[in-house]
Chain A
């Protein structure tokens, strides 16, 4: 029978532990490291098995079991060396390895022939053995190779890993092996199996280090099996020990043999044992599942916290905190999708202030995450999908510590990503942990999307959709709150208004108008800081509030905006961009105590800018001089308008006298038609100027085309067509004449839509443009040219009628015919009519 004694209990415990370790390793991922460790464990099993059985009277004999022990013992150094090489990730030194093989073979021969242990006997419960010279060779060899193994590991720490924390346990374990080897030299120590005890400690430390630092991936099922085994082994040892000891005390010491008494006395023992069993169970759970339980707790807590919350900031903060608590990364960076791409979220633990829209929708990382569950750093570094990453991007990712990048998906749509750096203790993440993070993000995604939507809605309520500025209502809410709470002792309000915006809209349509408003908003945004409060006040009016700034200081800022608009719009080579802005500035509390006061003062200042000829900035003054707005002043402006019109018309005259005479005629005929159909005085003024200037762009035409007699070629005709555009290009710089642009721009449009430059049709053509079109054609038909005579009035009427509804507005043709027949037109002082 096998009797447990103080000599064989250590090898037995070692044997059990080694079997458990081998079970763990066999069930884990099969890598080079696990394989090399398994060989070492195998040798240790042989050693502990031999050691245990030789210290019992198990047949065939103690000597036989001692030989088994020797095989394991002799194999330990070489397998330990191989494990160390693999773990240290250094190349095997062939010389050291060959020497180890040779010496192992020699020692095995010596061992089997009795040249290490001469005799081994189990006598009267005690194990007696005698060693010879071979044992000393083995001890020296064993210690030497343990030192080499230790050296390899220290080298790894110094050279690569640099973390004693991760590798320290393995180093300590090897140090125990070294001590154990040395203990064998003395047989009185050796018989207690000190070496095997220390080797067992080493194996436990290695196993723990591998498990804890995740050098190997151990799956959940295996963990469960291990925990069950560990729990039962420990329970068994404690049960057996307790019963044996209780039996010893009751029967041997107190010599009680009565069964009933024994049972009574054993009750407290069983009660204590049940408590101990529960404690072991708890301990095992903690040992194997503590991190998992923590994570589960974290997940539950997160779900609870976010369930009834729609505040995006709170949810993102909670998400980051929960991930940090559960997985302990150094850093977490969150990016959420918006209209432009994936933007860094402020909840991130990394400093993202200088990082703008880093991930566009087509970014390789985004494309990858759309179809994958995670992205590991190794994949990012090696996969062809990321070949096109910019160096700058790689640097940023490196700075963020991109150990794992996780998608946040809601209904298959990628709504965000989470970048997780390496762990605080530098241990790698397990797949189980990555799966957990996936679950956490999955839980968060729907609520995150809702919170985003809510934020968007809230934002939409206070934002102007077109420009992204705050709206009129929010301006009132916000500023009134400031006034109530005395947030700012002073602020300036700048009102910005597009000049001639209605003309622009009429001319180019509302979608172009919207584009211009967006462009203006962009210019304002680029010329202001985050401190300013930007509002689209309504229509083409914008309001900027400059907190803690007085009007005088704000003036220069407002002027900068005006100049920028002038540069981008008016001076742009694009003919469409004739827009300018007028600005007015008022100041709180200087110009009023309420927001309405301040706004109305800014409005007055803006109006004054417009009256001063537009494209101006005016600072509101209480003693505002209105004399400038007098009738006399208006007359002055009108005079300036007329003189600039004639000045321009004179430039045409300088180039081609005929064109000038023609323009004058068109102007007069157009005015006559406009009066006849009941146009307002303002419209009549505009059509007068427009008629005079409708061909001003011909200045830019080559002389050979301008003065060509006879038909134009297609190419020449195309060039001629451009004069309309050229006219606008010239006129847009004369701010008093901007009103004429729609009429001039459309005088070559046709009623049937076949005209140019825009192909407008029927009533979409501005009325003044339609008038000039008829006047222009009528004058051209009836004018004498050096190479041909003009048509008679009858012929002209016939031509006009023929083209009514095709080229011309039929109603206007009728009006014009009336004007011809009632001699209104004949009485005008028209030029180039020598034949009449």
Chain B
């Protein structure tokens, strides 16, 4: 197959659009046909594998309907034994890479996901689709070219984002800032810092990273200390840019913004709370980032398009099912309840769903709850003329608090921090708040002791930083404190429980009416 680099070189832009973004022309029934046909392939592959046989049990699974009726919903614990022991022979396809991610609240500290050669290739293709879209202003138009300078600010291998540049190697020639070899030696923070330094010197065309980091780095340019260092430009274009910037700063005495130094063709960003940071990125870099939604187990799930007005699902990466909000509630009330799912062609605009995926192309995960909440915002994108339902990534499911795409706070982390602080806190619950600038946690505590907010904050915050490195990174890299304490009078929790006839109040993100009741008291 002709690679993207060859098509770019031969200026076959129409062909590229068709090959990488043809899925945006699909009608809903065509999308479903692809989904169903590939699921049947996956069923065949699963039937021949030990993992599949374990999940299917002795049941005869032949059709999509059999599959949905008879196969149970799964979570990582169902795969832990096979995957963490890397039992390749039990999988539906031979893995070429083992991709790692953290397993907050799991029985081990990490999760592993197998990727076959085909899945790696598909992931590259999917990522390129988003990258092309990030440089696109209208249907059929894009600016991605060979040798573009790519400021790549994502986690290194063995995380999925670290593998992506290697998946892309075969497809396109990009110049990474910093280079892949250099980046391998650097930690997450340093590769962003070094990358931006090189970007000032040589210029950069593309950026992929966590949106909160982009904002933080962008803001540092407007600060005095960030812009006084002398940088020698690496090429003529950048020389002129830096000269202009110097003029603006020194002569016109205006505040310097990142857009004065960089001229990105496309910015790709992922991670929770991307929505919060989008406007800031646009202001700082003069280009609106394109949001991409995915994860280690699912790979790429959906991408925004040129209007940046809703995400469109990829049809051939995962088989998609959705748990409606009403079903989620039923399960919350009765943990033994088995929620039912609906399909992509059944979701309704304005409703909230938990995503369930079955990895296609020989993947391991079957009816797997990745723990992400999405909202269907419209049944089509009229502006971009996409006839497929459009979604918005909302958050992690309510038992996890994700801050700026950096960390996943669970009840264990907060519980441990409270225990270690030795504070006498009788009851508590943690609530994620969107915040105007940055997302944060409000920890509502009930105590009989005369602690001040500051006392509780400093002790718990300190212990959380020690327990969770990612939480510490939020302070270090994004430079803000995401913990707020709210103390309620003794007995408040029990009063709320009584009023709302509850056995218990969820430790993470209780229901809206409970949040309101606790805050009111």
Report the bound CA distance from A364 to B362 in whole Å.
20
- B360 CB → nearest A CB, Å: 10
> Which residues on the A side are within 8 Å of B118 (C-beta)?
391
> Which residues on the B side are within 8 Å of A382 (C-beta)?
1, 15, 18-19, 22
Say yes or no: is A381 at the interface (Cβ < 8 Å to chain B).
yes
> Which residues on the A side are within 8 Å of B30 (C-beta)?
384
Given A32-B11, A91-B173, verify A392-B41 contact (CB < 8 Å): yes
Report the bound CA distance from A384 to B25 in whole Å.
9
Q: Which residue, A32, A364, A384, has most C-beta atoms of chain B within 10 A?
A: A384
In the complex, chain B residues 289-337 whose Cβ is within 8 Å of any chain A Cβ? 315-316
| Per-position 1/0 for A352-376, Cβ under 8 A of B | 0000000000001000000000000
Report the bound CA distance from A91 to B172 in whole Å.
12
Contact among A31, A91, A387 for B34, CB-based, below 8 A? A387
Report the bound CA distance from A391 to B361 in whole Å.
7
> Which residues on the B side are within 8 Å of A391 (C-beta)?
41, 118, 361-362
B22 touches A388 (CB 8 A): no
A32 touches B362 (CB 8 A): no
In order of increasing CB-CB distance, the 7 nearest A-B pairs are: A384-B22, A382-B19, A388-B37, A388-B34, A390-B41, A381-B1, A387-B316
Say yes or no: is A413 at the interface (Cβ < 8 Å to chain B).
no
| Per-position 1/0 for A376-416, Cβ under 8 A of B | 00100111100110111000000000000000000000000
Contact among A32, A89, A387, A392 for B23, CB-based, below 8 A? A387
> Which residues on the A side are within 8 Å of B15 (C-beta)?
378, 382
B41 touches A387 (CB 8 A): no
| Per-position 1/0 for B21-38, Cβ under 8 A of A | 011011000100110011
Say yes or no: is B222 at the interface (Cβ < 8 Å to chain A).
no
- B149 CB → nearest A CB, Å: 14
Say yes or no: is B2 at the interface (Cβ < 8 Å to chain A).
yes
> Which residues on the B side are within 8 Å of A381 (C-beta)?
1-2, 19
A89 touches B9 (CB 8 A): yes
Given A91-B173, A391-B361, verify A383-B9 contact (CB < 8 Å): no
Closest to B40 in A: A390
Report the bound CA distance from A381 to B11 in whole Å.
18
Interface positions of B (Cβ within 8 A of A): 1-2, 6, 9-11, 15, 18-19, 22-23, 25-26, 30, 33-34, 37-38, 41, 118, 146-147, 173, 315-316, 361-362
Given A89-B6, A91-B173, verify A387-B315 contact (CB < 8 Å): yes
Contact among A91, A364, A384, A388 for B146, CB-based, below 8 A? A91
- A564 CB → nearest B CB, Å: 19
Closest to B17 in A: A382
Report the bound CA distance from A384 to B6 in whole Å.
20
19 of the cross-chain contacts (CB-CB < 8 Å) are A31-B10, A91-B173, A378-B2, A382-B1, A382-B19, A382-B22, A383-B18, A384-B18, A384-B22, A384-B23, A384-B25, A384-B26, A387-B23, A388-B37, A390-B38, A390-B41, A391-B361, A391-B362, A392-B41
- B135 CB → nearest A CB, Å: 19
- B304 CB → nearest A CB, Å: 19
> Besides A32-B10, A32-B11, A381-B19, 15 other CB < 8 A contacts?
A31-B10, A364-B37, A378-B15, A381-B1, A382-B15, A382-B18, A383-B19, A383-B22, A384-B30, A387-B22, A387-B316, A388-B37, A388-B316, A391-B41, A391-B361
Report the bound CA distance from A32 to B9 in whole Å.
9
Q: Which residue, B9, B23, B26, has most C-beta atoms of chain A within 10 A?
A: B9
> Which residues on the B side are within 8 Å of A388 (C-beta)?
33-34, 37-38, 316
> Which residues on the B side are within 8 Å of A390 (C-beta)?
37-38, 41
> Which residues on the A side are within 8 Å of B147 (C-beta)?
91
> Which residues on the B side are within 8 Å of A383 (C-beta)?
18-19, 22
> Which residues on the B side are within 8 Å of A91 (C-beta)?
9, 146-147, 173
Report the bound CA distance from A391 to B9 in whole Å.
28
- B299 CB → nearest A CB, Å: 15
Report the bound CA distance from A382 to B41 in whole Å.
20
Report the bound CA distance from A388 to B319 in whole Å.
12
Report the bound CA distance from A397 to B25 in whole Å.
26
- B171 CB → nearest A CB, Å: 13
Closest to A31 in B: B10
> Which residues on the B side are within 8 Å of A392 (C-beta)?
41
> Which residues on the B side are within 8 Å of A384 (C-beta)?
18, 22-23, 25-26, 30
- B432 CB → nearest A CB, Å: 37
Report the bound CA distance from A329 to B37 in whole Å.
32
> Which residues on the A side are within 8 Å of B6 (C-beta)?
89
Closest to B22 in A: A384
Report the bound CA distance from A212 to B37 in whole Å.
42
- B35 CB → nearest A CB, Å: 8
Closest to A392 in B: B41
Report the bound CA distance from A391 to B33 in whole Å.
16
Closest to A363 in B: B37
Report the bound CA distance from A91 to B19 in whole Å.
22
Closest to B21 in A: A384
> Which residues on the B side are within 8 Å of A387 (C-beta)?
22-23, 34, 315-316
- A394 CB → nearest B CB, Å: 9
- A344 CB → nearest B CB, Å: 20
Closest to B9 in A: A89
> Which residues on the A side are within 8 Å of B146 (C-beta)?
91
Report the bound CA distance from A384 to B315 in whole Å.
10
Closest to A384 in B: B22
- B30 CB → nearest A CB, Å: 8
Report the bound CA distance from A364 to B38 in whole Å.
12
- B302 CB → nearest A CB, Å: 16
Report the bound CA distance from A172 to B118 in whole Å.
41
Closest to A380 in B: B1
